[in-house]
C-alpha cells in the first residue's frame, strides 16, 4: 500500500497547524501590547464565570431562540470535532476507522455526531435566514457593513459545507460497508442514523467510484477544518477560542464601580485634609502618577480590554440594548469593540513591517477610529456589559478614553466643564453661592 497519502496528510497537518500557531503567537503579542492589570484574584469565582458563561452559555439563552440554536452549533461543532482525532490517526497511519475497537460506544459516538451535524445545519440555515431574509435590525445596523457582514455569512456557509461533507463521507462509507462480500478496508463500524438516509444515492454506482467520492469528501472535510481553523484569526469567530479566557479574566467588581486612579485619589485626600503635609514624601506603596491619564490609543488600554476586542462576537446585543443608540445617538458599543480590534491589528502590522518595533504612524484610536461624539453619548448605564454573552466591557474603554479627553486635553463638553467649575467654586454641580445652599429649608 502506498504511503504517499499519509505523507501528503502529514504535510497538510504540519502546514495547517504551523500557520495556526503563527497566528496565535501574533495574537498573544498584540494582546500583550496593553497595559498590565492584575486579574488573578478570586480564582473560584473566575472558574465559575468561565464554566457558566463560556461553557454553559448562560447569557446566550437570555434570548431563547438564538441561544438554543447557538448551543446546537456550539455543542455540535465541538463534539463533532472529536471525530477529527480519528481522522488524524487514519490520515497519519493509513488506517480506517481506527477507533472502531470501542464497539458499541463507537456506534453511539458516530450516531451522536450525525444527529448533531443535522442540528448544526438546521441552526445555521435559521441563522442565515435571520440575517439575510428577516434582516433583524442588529444584523443590518450601519456599523455592521462590508467585511464584518460578509464574514458572518462566510462562516455560515463554511459550517454548512463542513457538516454536509461529514454526512456525505459517512454515507459513502456506510454504502461500502454493506457491499456484498465486503469491499477493501470498509469494515462494518459505526451507527449512521442520518447518512444512511443519504446512502441510497450511491445504489447502482460503481463501488470504486463510491470509494473515490468517499476519499474526496474525507480529504475535503479535514482540509476544510484546517482552513476554518486558520480563518478564525481573521474572523469574529475568534471567540470560539477566546471566550474562555475572556470570561475568566473579566472584571469581578460591581458594574457600577469605576476604576479610580490611586494617584489622583491620594491627591484629592491630601487637598481635603487640613493637617496633611503637602511636602511629605508619598507612602512607599502609593501608586506613582501615571505617565498618561486615560487612553488615546490601544497601547494605553490594558491587556484584558484588548482581549475583549478580539473576543467580540459582533452579535450586536450590546448595541441593540444601548439607550443612547436607541435614541439615535452615534454611539454603538459593538463599533467601539470592532474599532479597537481594527486599530490593534493596524498596530500589529506596523510592528511586523518594522521588525518588531512600532513606528508612530500619526494615527490613534481616538479621532481616527472613535470620535469624542461617540464617547460622550454614553450614559454609562452598563447595559452593553450586562448584555454581552462573553462578558466584554465596551464601557471600560469608553471611560478610559473619556478620562484622556478630560485629564490630558481638557476637552470635556461645555455642560460637563460648567458642572466641574461649579463643584470647584460652589461645592455643588449647580451655580449657587455656597451661602445660599440651605435657603431651600426656608421655603418649606
pLDDT tens figures, 64-109: 888 999 988 888 877 777 788 889 999 999 888 888 888 889 999 8
The separation between CA 293 and the C-alpha centre of its own chain, rounded to angstroms, equals 28
What φ, ψ does residue 213 adopt, rounded to 5°? Answer: -65, -40
Query: Greater confidence, 144 or 395?
Result: 395
Instruction: Tell me the C-alpha distance between 10 and 4, whole Å.
Output: 10
pLDDT of residue 439: 79
What pLDDT shows up at residue 398? 96
Alpha carbon distance 335, 318 (integer Å): 10
First-to-last alpha carbon distance for the chain, in angstroms, is 100
- The pLDDT, as a whole number, for residue 286 is 53
- pLDDT at residue 298, as a whole number: 97
Q: How far are the Cα atoms of 82, 88, 93, 122, 201 from residue 99, in angstroms, in the given order? A: 11, 11, 13, 28, 27
Q: Which fold has domain 262-429?
A: Fumarate Reductase Iron-sulfur Protein; Chain B, domain 2 (1.10.1060)
Q: Give the pLDDT confidence score for residue 358 in this predicted structure.
A: 95
Q: What is the pLDDT of residue 223?
A: 94
All structural domains of the chain with their residue ranges: 4-31+63-248, 262-429
Burial pattern 177-192, b for ≥16 Cβ within 10 A else e, equals beeeeebeebeebbbb
Q: Are 206 and 126 in contact (CB under 8 A)?
A: no
pLDDT category, 373, cuts 50, 70, 90? very high
At 288 the pLDDT is 60
**184 has pLDDT over 90:** no
Measured CA to CA, the distance from residue 109 to residue 376 in angstroms comes to: 53
Q: Indicate the pTM of the whole model.
A: 0.87
Q: Which residues, 6+ apart, have CB-to-CB distance to 411 below 8 Å?
A: 372, 405
- In contact, 389 and 317? CB cutoff 8 Å: yes
Q: Bigger pLDDT: 429 or 383?
A: 383
What number of other Cβ atoms are within 10 A of residue 74's Cβ? 18
Q: What is the mean pLDDT of residues 17-23?
A: 95
Q: Is the pLDDT of residue 281 over 60?
A: no
Query: Is the pLDDT confidence value at 356 over 60?
Result: yes
* Environment class of 196 (CB within 10 Å of its CB; exposed 0-12, middle 13-18, buried 19+): middle
pLDDT at 44: 95
pLDDT tier for residue 284 given thresholds of 50, 70 and 90: low
- Residue 31: closest CA among 306, 234, 432: 306
Planar angle of CA 293, 323, 404, nearest 5 degrees: 10
Confidence of residue 418 (pLDDT cuts 50, 70, 90): confident
Average pLDDT value for residue range 178-191 = 85
Distance CA 176, CA 199 (A): 10
Q: Which of 45, 71, 30 is nearest to 309 (CA)?
A: 30
Phi, psi values for residue 35, rounded to 5°: -70, 155
Instruction: Categorize the per-residue pLDDT at 158 as very low, low, confident or very high, splitting at 50, 70 and 90.
Output: very high
What would the mean pLDDT of 311-330 be, rounded to a whole number?
94
Average pLDDT in the 119-143 region?
A: 92
pLDDT at 209: 95
The number of angstroms, rounded, from the C-alpha of 190 to the middle of its chain's C-alpha atoms is: 35
Least confident of 83-92, 175-184, 435-444: 435-444
Q: What value does the mean pLDDT take over residues 348-376?
A: 95
Strand partners, 366: 370
The pLDDT of residue 432: 76
d(CA 343, CA 347): 6
Q: What is the pLDDT of residue 265?
A: 77
* Gap between the Cα atoms of 368 and 374, Å rounded: 12
Q: DSSP labels for 218-253?
A: HHHHHHHHHHHHHHGGGSGGGHHHHHHHHHHTS--S
Amino acid at each position: 500500500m502506498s504511503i504517499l497519502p499519509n505523507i501528503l496528510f502529514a504535510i497538510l497537518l504540519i502546514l495547517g497547524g504551523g500557520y495556526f500557531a503563527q497566528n496565535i503567537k501574533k495574537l498573544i503579542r498584540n494582546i500583550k501590547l496593553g497595559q498590565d492589570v492584575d486579574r488573578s484574584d478570586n480564582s473560584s469565582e473566575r472558574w465559575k464565570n468561565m464554566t457558566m458563561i463560556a461553557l454553559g452559555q448562560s447569557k446566550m439563552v437570555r434570548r431563547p431562540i438564538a441561544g438554543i440554536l447557538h448551543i446546537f452549533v456550539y455543542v455540535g461543532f465541538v463534539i463533532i470535532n472529536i471525530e477529527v482525532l480519528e481522522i488524524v490517526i487514519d490520515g497519519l497511519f493509513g488506517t480506517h476507522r481506527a477507533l472502531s475497537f470501542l464497539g458499541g460506544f463507537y456506534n453511539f459516538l458516530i450516531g451522536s455526531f450525525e444527529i448533531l451535524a443535522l442540528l448544526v445545519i438546521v441552526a445555521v440555515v435559521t441563522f442565515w435566514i435571520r440575517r439575510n431574509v428577516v434582516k433583524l435590525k442588529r444584523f443590518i445596523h450601519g456599523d455592521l457593513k462590508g467585511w464584518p457582514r460578509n464574514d458572518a455569512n462566510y462562516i455560515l456557509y463554511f459550517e454548512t459545507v463542513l457538516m454536509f461533507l461529514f454526512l456525505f463521507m459517512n454515507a459513502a462509507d456506510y454504502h461500502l460497508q454493506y457491499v456484498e462480500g465486503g469491499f477493501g478496508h470498509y469494515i462494518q463500524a459505526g451507527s449512521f442514523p442520518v447518512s444512511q438516509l443519504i446512502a441510497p444515492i450511491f445504489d447502482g454506482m460503481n463501488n470504486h467510484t463510491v470509494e473515490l467520492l468517499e476519499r474526496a469528501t474525507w480529504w475535503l472535510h479535514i482540509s476544510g477544518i484546517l482552513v476554518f481553523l486558520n480563518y478564525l484569526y481573521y474572523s469574529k469567530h475568534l471567540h470560539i477560542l477566546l471566550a474562555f479566557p475572556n470570561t475568566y479574566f473579566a472584571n469581578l467588581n460591581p458594574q457600577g464601580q469605576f476604576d479610580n486612579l490611586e494617584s489622583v485619589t491620594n491627591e484629592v485626600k491630601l487637598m481635603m485634609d487640613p493637617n496633611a503635609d503637602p511636602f511629605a514624601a508619598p507612602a512607599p506603596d502609593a501608586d506613582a502618577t501615571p505617565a498618561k491619564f486615560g487612553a488615546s490609543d490601544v497601547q494605553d488600554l490594558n491587556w484584558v480590554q484588548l482581549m475583549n476586542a478580539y473576543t467580540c462576537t459582533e452579535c450586536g446585543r450590546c448595541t441593540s440594548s444601548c439607550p443612547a443608540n436607541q435614541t439615535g445617538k452615534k454611539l454603538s458599543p459593538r463599533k467601539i469593540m470592532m474599532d479597537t480590534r481594527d486599530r490593534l491589528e493596524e498596530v500589529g502590522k506596523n510592528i511586523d513591517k518594522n521588525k518588531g518595533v512600532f513606528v508612530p504612524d500619526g494615527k490613534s484610536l481616538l479621532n481616527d477610529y472613535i470620535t469624542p461624539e461617540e464617547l460622550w453619548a454614553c450614559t454609562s448605564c452598563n447595559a452593553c456589559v450586562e448584555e454581552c454573552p462573553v462578558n466584554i466591557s465596551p464601557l471600560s474603554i469608553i471611560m478610559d478614553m473619556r478620562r484622556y479627553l478630560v485629564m490630558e486635553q481638557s476637552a470635556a463638553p461645555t455642560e460637563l466643564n460648567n458642572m466641574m467649575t461649579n463643584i470647584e467654586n460652589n461645592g455643588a454641580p449647580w451655580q449657587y453661592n455656597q451661602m445660599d445652599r440651605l435657603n431651600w429649608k426656608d421655603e418649606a
